[in-house]
Amino acid sequence: GSEATLLMIEMIARREATQQPMVLMGDFNNDLADGVLSHLLTNTLRFAPAFDVKTYLAKYCLNDAWQLFKTLKMSQFTAHNTQQNAGSHPDVQQSNAPAAPLLNRSPTHYYGTSSTVLDYILLSCEFDPSYDDSFYEVSDYHTYDRHLINPEYERDDLTTDHAVVSITLTLRS
């Protein structure tokens, strides 16, 4: 908890000094919803004046790249289906309408028969399409875990015990 707090303090100081977007990547050794790490993604502030809360949160809090990717894919699916159904008659039921894509997050760490997500990429508001001034979006998210699922000694003898998380950022048009 102390490490996460000190890291966030340093990130805020750097943000103030440079005004540059932030990216935080790594093995967090815990789920982001855990109390120790949840402040990285918080949507509330305890001691800020009410009129400043939204500004503070947008500027300093981070977003999970997986959630940004998932939100983008769902909005693209919805927009596509809305276009497809625009020409159909309103009284006709769309019984063969495609189901929403099932997006499951792959684990990044395995221990025995259990698995969990411990590795994350967190991004500042500039990568969140719901933020007015964002300029990039997370267009792809991939977890590379072949070396954990099906290891081959010759290829994987010196690899990490965690999956590698990779994202693609695309300039918004």
Which stretch of 82-96, 103-117, 128-142, 143-157 has the lowest confidence by average pLDDT? 82-96
Mean pLDDT of 19-28: 91
pLDDT class for 84, splitting at 50, 70, 90?
Answer: low
Res 141: pLDDT: 96
Q: What is the pTM (predicted TM-score) of this model?
A: 0.80
Residue 29 covered by a domain: yes
Residue 152 lies in a domain: yes
The reply to whether 93 falls in a domain is no
Q: Which domain holds residue 57?
A: 2-83+101-171
End-to-end CA separation in angstroms for the chain: 39
Indicate whether 30 belongs to any domain: yes
Q: Is residue 44 part of a domain?
A: yes
The answer as to whether 25 is a domain residue is yes
**Local structure of 73: helix, strand or coil:** helix
Examine residue 90 and state whether it is found in any structural domain, yes or no: no
Domain count across the chain = 1
Residue 26 lies in a domain: yes
Give the Å distances, CA to CA, from 129 to 51, 53, 68, 75, 80: 22, 19, 8, 11, 17
